[in-house]
Each structure stands twice: as C-alpha cells, then as structure tokens.
Structure 1
Amino acid sequence: MAPSAVDWGLAERVAIRAAGSDPFSRSYHADSLIADFDELTARAEEQVAAATGLHSLAGPARARVDDRAAWIRANIASFQRLLRPVTNRLDEKVGDGLLAPVARRAAGAEVGALLGWMSGRVLGQYDLLVIEDEDPEEQDLVHYVGTNVLALEKKYAFPPREFRQWLALHEVTHRMQFTGVPWMREHFLGLVDGMVSAVDQDPSELLGALTRAAEEVRQGRNPLDEGGVAALLSTPAQKELMEQIGGLMSLLEGHGDVTMDRAGADQIPNAVRFAQVLRQRRRQANPVIRVVQKLIGLEAKLKQYEQGERFIEAVEEVGGPDVIDRAWEDPSHLPTMAEIRDPDAWIARLGVAAPAA
C-alpha cells in the first residue's frame, strides 16, 4: 500500500503530546463517568424523542467516555475517511519524490497540532461518520471527553449529575437528528464529500485567494470571518456548498441547544448557568486562541449556535413550536445560510403559516 499524503501516525503522536495530561484523568472521580453517561445518555434519548418527535432508526444510543488520547484516535479515523478524496489526489501529485516524506510529515504535524489543541476543549461529540472498514461496535457512538468534563465541573462547581445530563441531551439530540431523519446522514456526508472532493491543489489558486482576501480587507471585512482558511481558498462552487453546509450546521446546532434546554427544563435547574459559562469561555478565549479559531473556521462554527437559536426562535414566533419539523421533511426544506440570517425568507419560501388556534 502506498503511503498516505498525511502521516497519520505522526499526527496521532503530535496530537497526544499537544493534548497534555490532566490530573483529573487519574482521579477517583473518573470512575463515576462511565456509569453516569451510560444511564444519562439512555435517559436523554427518551427526553429528546418526547421533545422533538424524532426517533432513532439505528437502535439505542451508546455512550463512550474517552480520555483525550482516545478522542484523538477516534477523530483521526474520521479525518482519514473525510479527507480521503483530497489525500488520494495528493498521493498522485506528490508520489514518491524526494520531498514526499517531508510533505507527509508536515501535513501530519499540522493535523496533529490541530487535534491536540481541540482535544483539550471538547466536552462531547456525536460521531456521525460511517467508516467502511471499521468494527460497527466502534461507530455511531456518543463520545464524552471525561478529563475535560471533570475539569469544568471542578472549576465552576457544577453539580456533576446535572451537568452530565445537560451534556447528554445536547449530544443525543445531534444523534437523533442524524438517525431519526432518514436522509440526513447521507445528505450531510454528500455535501461534505462534494466540498472536499472539489479541493483544487493548484498553487495558482492560493494566489487568487490572497488577492480576494486583500480586496475583502480593503472593503473593511475580515476574510476569515466566514469559515477560516477553508473558506478563503474555496472556489465559487465550493462556497455554494459551504453556504449549504453552514445553513445546515447552524440549524442543527441551534436545534440542539433549544432541545437541550426544553427536554431537561424540569430536571436541570442550573441549565441557564451552564450555558452562560460555556458562552463566556468562548468569548474569553485569549488572542492567540482567537486567531487559531479564525484560521481553522472554529469561530464561524461557534457563531452557528447563536445564529441557529435565533433562527428557531424567529420561525417559532410565526409557525409555533412544531414548525421546525418542516425542515426534516425533505433536503430542499433546509434553510440556507442566508435564510438562517433572514428567517423571514425561509418562512416565505416554505409558506409557513400560524398554527390553528
């Protein structure tokens, strides 16, 4: 087998080194996480189904409590599947020339540094990618990064069971979106595959991107605001796909936050405080982290939570609490990024009317 365009082994080593260690990973408190998240993930599935009307077509949700290293390994597997069209194309261009090993190691180091940094921040994640050659028992999992959960509970004196249920509600809502809407997973992966497959490795594209960035700056706009370097280097066709992906992700993130608050409203009295703390942590990121967030597009993702919530609130004011179900009927009903920012446009396009009294 030819070597990959990315040295994934190096990526894993760099990421684990960059992730660092946390004393909570060896704490006796960690023993409670597995049993808690098994129980609370199952409970969250019932609550989310009752709140949204969605029911998983893929069986019960399964929780997996990871340390940072395990989360990194799971995401490297996902990255390998996601980036396969790009790495295959790079393999053809780079080949076995003298610079090939250098290029592979450089790519591995960059991916590793990114994953290592992210592993210290993520609390939970639903793994929606299906990897053809992996054990099914290792897929369709709701991951929780135990070290980070424990550290946050300690720092802010969060009631552990309550905070863990709150996290479970958000991640299980994402799983329900992808396993309860029959076409959602394939639609989303089709958009992402189209985006990744269209990547142009021609160096002249970089020059064109820099020219466009300079024009954005002259007009008083930050060229990294709408998706980081990926957006900056995108072709017009890719930008259209990014608009669709951005609209979908904003909807899913906003729907996740709204459902999390509603499904556990009577059992999680500290939900408002949990949300405030996490939003404050995003805002207080130091300048270096903010730059990194912009470069990789993470800051644009953080905006998705707020934009998605505002969209749902706006359309519910017109069509009632069940109006968002229209989005699950067909891919053509999903809001675009422009409609997320202008909910009235989505309301008009779908002919949303006020519910009967």
Structure 2
Amino acid sequence: MSQSPVPGPDVPPWEQMLRAMLGDGADDAIAELRARGIDPATLGGAGDLPTDPAAIQQVVAQMQSLFAGGDDQPVNWQMAHDLARQQASVGGDPSLTPTQGRQVRDALSVAELWLDAATDLPPATAPARAWSRAEWVEATLPAWRTLTEPVASSLSTALVEALGGQLELPPGTMLPGGVEPGQLLRRLGSAVFGLQVGQAAGTLSHDVFGTTDIGLPLLDVPAPALVAANVEEFAEGLDAPPEEVRLFLALREAAATRLFTHVPWLRAHLLATVEAYARGITIDVDQLEEAVGSIDPTDAAALQQALSGGVFAPHTTDEQKAALERLETALALVEGWVDEVSATAALPHLPHGVALREMIRRRRAAGGPAEQTFANLVGLELRPRRLRDAAALWAQIARDGGTAARDAVWDHPDLLPSTADLDDPAGYAARRATAAGEAAEVDRALAEIFGEEPDES
C-alpha cells in the first residue's frame, strides 16, 4: 500500500490524529468511520479541538459510539469482522455456482487419490469444501485471535502508559458512562488493531487458495477447502489449463490437511509457538514515551514522524529473534513437506506440475501486502524463508529411507529437523544415527545405575 499523505493544516485535529496513528491504513479507517455514520471531518468543529466541556462530551460520545463494541478487548473483533467482510467483497464476491462447487470438490477428491501413492498419511476425515472469499473470512477469522491478541494487549498497555498523561480534560468534563481517559485510549488501540486485522484478513481473502497456504492451520478441525474465485483468477493467463491448475492447488491443500489432521500435536505446536513469540515481545515504554512525550497528539506530522511506523511497533528482543528463527524453521518444514509430497503426487498426472510447483514457490517467497501487514502487527512473516531447503531435506530423507521414514519424522516434535539439517540435507541421516547412538548410551548407563536390563530393541 502507498503511504498516506500527511494531512494539511485545514484537516480537523481528530482526523489528523487518526491519520497519524493509523499510517498507511488511514484511508480505510476513515472510510470505515464514515460507513458507520461518523465523519472525522466534523469531529473537531471548525478545525480546533473544542475547550467547552459540553462540546468535548459531544465529541467523545461520537468517538465512543465507534469504540463501544470493543468491550476493552485487545482487538475490536466486531470491527475486524466487519472490515474483513467489506474487503472480501471488493471487486465482487458472489456466491459459488453449483458448477464451481462441484469442480472444487471433484478436484479435492482426485487429489486425495493421487496422494495415497505419495504419502502414508491417510486423507482427512472432514469433508471437502468450496468457499467464497466471505466464507473464508468467517471460517478463519477466529484463528487470528491467537496470532494478534497477545501482542495487541501488550501494545495497548504501552500506549496508555505513554499517552495517558496527555489526555487531560478541562475541569468539570465527564466522559460518557464514567469511562476513564486510559480506558478510552485502550479502546482506541483496540479499534486501531481491529481495523488493521480486518484490513489484512480481508485482503488475504483475495490471495489465498485454501486454509493452509500461509503456512499456519487456520481451522480448529482441519478440512480441505479451496476459494474458487482465487483459484480461477490465478489460472487466468497461465499456460496450464484451469483444470490442471485447480488439481495442483487441490493437491497442496489436501496434503497439508492430511498433515495437520494426522499429526495431532502439530497445529497446537505451531500456534503455541506463535503465541509464545507474541507474548514475549517487549515494548520499550521509555522509548515510546520519549518519542511522543513532548508532542501535541493532534500534531499529525510531528506524531507520525516520532512514531515512524505507527504506535504499534514492537521492540523485539534477541530471545524473540531466536524464537522467530525456530518458528520460521518449523513453518519451512511444514511447507517443504507439502511442496515435496504434492509435487511427487502430481508428477505422473499433471504435465505442467513442475512449472506450477516453481510458480507457487516464487509466490510464497515474494509474499504480499496483507502478509506484510501481519508482519507489522506481530513481527511474524507468514511465509517460510527456507522452503526450498526444507523440500530438499524431505526428498533426501525419502531417498535414504523411503516415504515411510520421511513421514515418520512427524511422530514427535523432538524428531523435527533443525536449521543444521536445512543447511546440510545430505548429512541428516548421519547426524540422526549419531544422536540415536548417544541416546542408546545414555539408556544403557541409566539401566546400569538402576540395575535394569537395557532395552536393546
């Protein structure tokens, strides 16, 4: 997205403040305000914040009509939902025709048959689904809570600590409902996060093919699904026939769904790692206070320059960077397995399978504006940096021990390959043999200590 222009001096202060705090998302936020019947251009009267207590109460009442639905949650999810649905409908999002639904379900059914020859993991038990973009939003939005709420909570607290003292009201002024200034700031933060999450989720609904192609599972109960309109748009202009493109994307979706269905610890492991990473992000409150402490909150240009990227810019510690590296490795392993298994299944059946595989790899590596928005929200880029290395590792494991050995790596999280394995796939088997030998030595030593017969199995 292009950067929002700095508002001119004739723009009312409340609109200036919103633009300063929302940055690139200002236009979308102001459009959402107006859609809800609130015009930022009228909130500040003639252009200056009013000093009359009654006038201030009227302004605050208007603002609170926007924030009331947040219920002091870290993210205003009603706002996120409404904006995501609105973004999903941009350019049209008609209900699927019977033909579209049948094409998607047939492609997923064929994909399951082909995958049976490429992996020992059985098909998912949930039925295949064909979705519109709005249906994708409704099904996946709950997962964004896990991704965004922990860091949103921390940032909301930092915002109140840094700016709460500046929200001074004239004597005799009472906020509607007895709301304290700090609570109003929390609701402002909740609204800002709601707008950003809704904008990103709605934009993603135009980019994704299913429920797994951002690297994280977005359904509590994994089920293969494709967004028919996105599949059709992606196929337009390609040399491959639309039916072949649909089948290839169905293979990827079905393979990932098998993985998340039959490796029961994997989804919880990934989402818990994301949550732990987000909760561990620290906010440099002193730096935030220094940035805004001497600035009039209604001075849009000065505030935006001080924040340089928005209020919601977390300070990431060295520990969190290390955690992020571990998380990115896990995401690469998931996507690398899906990439290798789906390509193996496609090879005997799809003439353009190799070209489609490369196209998807490049698409995932490039990312997009919505993925960058989530990177700004939680410091997490939803794409694997080492997909090719991970795919090469899984192929090497299959060559060394067969598909059963490759899939058995998912039996326990302790068996997951490391970054060293991604660096040197050919040495994976030797490193695992060494590790197994060391573990056996430990077992024998413990057996001797406790007077037990060592397990030689």
* Class of the TM-score when normalised by the shorter of the 2 chains: 0.7 to 0.9
Structure 2: how far apart are the matches of 1:45 and 1:291? Answer: 32
Q: Secondary structure at the match of 1:348?
A: helix
Please give the per-residue CA displacement for 1:34-71, whole angstroms capped at 9, x wherever unaligned: 11222332332343233111125xx5242222222222
| TM-superposed deviation, 1:147 | 1.5
Is 1:15 matched with 2:97? no
**Does the 8 A contact of 2:339 with 2:357 survive in 1?**
no
Superposition RMSD on alpha carbons, in Å?
Answer: 3.8
Structure 1: how far apart are the matches of 2:129 and 2:263? Answer: 23
| TM-superposed deviation, 1:204 | 4.9
Residue from 133, 153, 157 that aligns with 1:68: 133
1:250-265 correspondence to structure 2 within 5 Å: 250-265=332-347
Unaligned runs of 5+ in 1: 132-138, 208-229, 353-357
Please give the per-residue CA displacement for 1:246-298, whole angstroms capped at 9, x wherever unaligned: 22211111111111111132222221232344445567889x78976975778
- Stretch deviating more after TM superposition (83-92 or 101-110): 83-92
The alpha-carbon distance between structure 1 residues 332 and 268, as it changes in their structure 2 partners (threshold 3 A), is same
Is 1:53 matched with 2:139? no
Look up the match of 2:277: 195
- Stretch deviating more after TM superposition (262-271 or 76-85): 76-85
Structure 2: how far apart are the matches of 1:285 and 1:192? Answer: 19
Is 1:268 matched with 2:333? no
**Does the 8 A contact of 1:42 with 1:60 survive in 2?**
no
Structure 2: how far apart are the matches of 1:9 and 1:107? Answer: 11
Residue from 38, 43, 53 that aligns with 2:110: 43
Letter in 1 for 2:109: A
The alpha-carbon distance between structure 1 residues 282 and 130, as it changes in their structure 2 partners (threshold 3 A), is closer
Look up the match of 1:4: 73
Please give the per-residue CA displacement for 1:85-137, whole angstroms capped at 9, x wherever unaligned: 44566677769622122111111111122223322211122484565xxxxxx
**Does the 8 A contact of 2:131 with 2:228 survive in 1?**
yes
Aligned pair count reads: 319
The alpha-carbon distance between structure 1 residues 206 and 266, as it changes in their structure 2 partners (threshold 3 A), is farther
- State the TM-score, normalized to the length of structure 2: 0.59
| TM-superposed deviation, 1:324 | 2.0
Please give the per-residue CA displacement for 1:8-35, whole angstroms capped at 9, x wherever unaligned: 2222333344445346x5498x542211
| TM-superposed deviation, 1:174 | 1.0
Structure 2: how far apart are the matches of 1:290 and 1:311? Answer: 26
Report which of the two structures shows the higher radius of gyration computed on alpha carbons.
2
Structure 2: how far apart are the matches of 1:339 and 1:231? Answer: 33
**Does the 8 A contact of 1:8 with 1:76 survive in 2?**
no
The alpha-carbon distance between structure 1 residues 116 and 205, as it changes in their structure 2 partners (threshold 3 A), is farther
Unaligned runs of 5+ in 2: 1-69, 161-179, 290-311, 435-457
1:220-299 correspondence to structure 2 within 5 Å: 233-279=315-361, 281=363
1:1-357 correspondence to structure 2 within 5 Å: 2-19=71-88, 21-22=90-91, 25-26=93-94, 30-55=97-122, 60-86=125-151, 97-126=183-212, 128=217, 139-156=221-238, 158-204=240-286, 233-279=315-361, 281=363, 301-316=383-398, 318-319=400-401, 321-344=403-426, 346-351=428-433
Letter in 2 for 1:53: D
Structure 2: how far apart are the matches of 1:84 and 1:27? Answer: 31
